[in-house]
Chain A
Amino acid sequence: MSNRAELTRRDILKSGAAVATITLASGVTLMAFGGSDANATGADAGKRWGLLIDANKCAADCSDCVTACKTENGWGSHGEHASPETDVAWIRKVTLKDKQTGRTVSAPIMCQHCETPPCVDVCPTGASMKRADGIVLVDKHACIGCRYCMMACPFKARSFVHEDVTDQSVNAPRGKGTVESCTLCVHRIDKGRIPACVESCEAAGHSAILFGDLKDPDSAISKALLNYPSIALRADLGLNPGVRYQNL
């Protein structure tokens, strides 16, 4: 199985404007596109990006995906008052033990990129938004910092920036007083690359995270989902997340 943001020539032409902008002013304008699906330039409604995480392949003592995300998106540095409770976490590792059987299992948790995201529903200004290709983002220019999306998210995937940020990455502008979460490395996807966590997991030799287009029946992720059992976290809520888990 291979992880590719399988871009066709048509896709590249369609998202040409966005790619040009990103190339010219990388990071600066990236998040300013948002507000609604209509002006999310570059996102292709014909695609839905997703992840399939195989908990059996995820090593409990490895957190390369978290480290890669921090480096890629420039979060994780601590201010003088920081505490684990105020720390930002776009992606986190959990180790779980089945209460009945005692089996332990490990997996990364990040924004689940729901088809019907509660964070988008509750956001008063529309800063919390879903791109046409299913990626859930925060428009950092429209977020007023009310944190209602954090109250609504069933996965605790969002973080509020509690103090001034240092060591920002051009890939993901951040700001004190606003909410942020996993962008599925949208800046990479728009260039035809795979998310940093997926890449680092491959590099570590685990390949526990599979990335791809859920709408393409021929993609590796669609085939894996078709042929092997998988679950969605909090499936009872009917949110149809774009992130799925195997062997959890």
Chain B
Amino acid sequence: MDRTIYRELKATPSVWMAAILLLAFIGAAGLSVLTIEHHGHIITGMNNQIVWGLPHVFAIFLIVAASGALNVASIASVFGKKAYKPMSRFSALLSIALLLGGLAVLVLDLGRPDRLLIAMTTYNFTSIFAWNMLLYNGFFVIVGVYIAVQMIKGLSPKVVKTAGIAAFVWRLALTTGTGSIFGWLVARPGYDAAIMAPLFIAMSFAFGLAAFLLITLTLFKMSDRNFGDVLLKRMGSLMGVFVGAVLYFTAVQHLTNIYATEHAGVERFFLLEGGVYTTLFWLVQVILGGLIPMALVFLRPSRTSTIWASILVIIGGFAQLYIIIIGGQAYPLDIFPGYEVLEGFNEGVINAYTPSLYELALGLGGVAVALFVAGIGAKILRVLPTNLSDANVPDDS
């Protein structure tokens, strides 16, 4: 076995092409933002009933995946699995890139993004949003330090482990905070559940690992590096466990709600009569994004099946967040229990939402930002190992 060597990406034509493509997406997102800023949110599909839309689905997905992408590094530094060690630099870098992409979408969707400075300087500490801003900013610092101590030569492994533990604890807090944005919304029947925090952590494990695998494999292919089948299948089955955890928490969430008569309406909506949300739940989230990936990695483990499973986990993840974020708002607030609303202002009705192209462009721009930053990082920093062939992967024992 060779010593692990990290080398920057070479500027090959395919790397240039990818960069130009990503910049095009970022440009389109920029134009979208300027247009929305000029006209107001009136030109988006969002309204006063569905106040958070597709941009938030993208933003939360990227933020959740960000903390999960760090897991590969945590498995090496915190849990001592040597096979993951060569990937831990890029894992940390990717987590920063994904978080940056997600936050970019979140900030650019604000009604007044020009007031970001207010959000950065004025904190209301009863707001989980304010805490999240501290958690996100702290994540950049802690993971930045974590990357640095991994790359500095001659540092004691204890320093790396300490930084790794700090980053791991921080990311758990961060995902708890992200889940609690929804879990702590007591007024809305679709939210108001403490299980949102652990559910989001499980989601981050699954989405983050899927994103890590796909992005790393792409970069390896572009730079002619070898990623071993055994290692890939091993990571695939770990992803399968995470996907199982997501399904488990999802099942507990819905079963708990079904048990309480007051929540029967919202559960009927999500699971049976919610139209697009019901379809997304059973077909995309549970079957396509949950059961099939698990079957692929456990029953037919192979390089191809792991790649397909990763793609499906990401598709299922988007569906899940769409159901949580949009579906949770589509179901009406129960302001007048026991009454039927004869006349009102969108009262007691399922709220419709059709995302606009502007929102899609903004969301995809966030993904492009994340990928672009990850690529730039891999281009200028020695974070990607030159060889992850099975013969070259350190043994855990």
Contacts and interface: CB of A to CB of B under 8 A. Distances in A.
Contacts of A31: none
Interface stretch (B47-55, B212-220, B243-251, B375-383): B47-55
Given A87-B48, A89-B48, A162-B47, A95 B124 contact: no
A94 B112 contact: no
B337 to A, nearest CB: 8
A92 interface: yes
Contacts of B122: 35, 125-126, 142
B110, B124, B188 — most chain A CB neighbours (10 Å): B124
B115 interface: yes
B21 interface: no
Interface string A145-163: 1111011111110011111
Contacts of B260: none
Interface residues of A, number: 61
A109 interface: yes
B335 A156 contact: yes
Nearest to B44: A162
Contact of A124 (B50, B113, B129, B344): B129
Interface size range on B against A? 35 or more
Interface stretch (B35-43, B277-285, B303-311): B35-43
Given A124-B119, A143-B112, A81 B342 contact: no
Given A100-B338, A109-B335, A125-B124, A86 B42 contact: yes
Instruction: Say what secondary structure dominates the interface of chain A.
Output: loop
A163 B39 contact: yes
A238 B37 CA distance: 38
A167 interface: no
B336 A233 contact: yes
Contacts of B346: 84-85, 156
B19 interface: no
A76 interface: no
A103 to B, nearest CB: 9
B207 to A, nearest CB: 22
B335 A233 contact: yes
Interface of A: 35, 60, 79, 81-89, 92-100, 104, 106, 109, 118, 120-127, 142-148, 150-156, 159-164, 176-179, 233-234, 237, 248
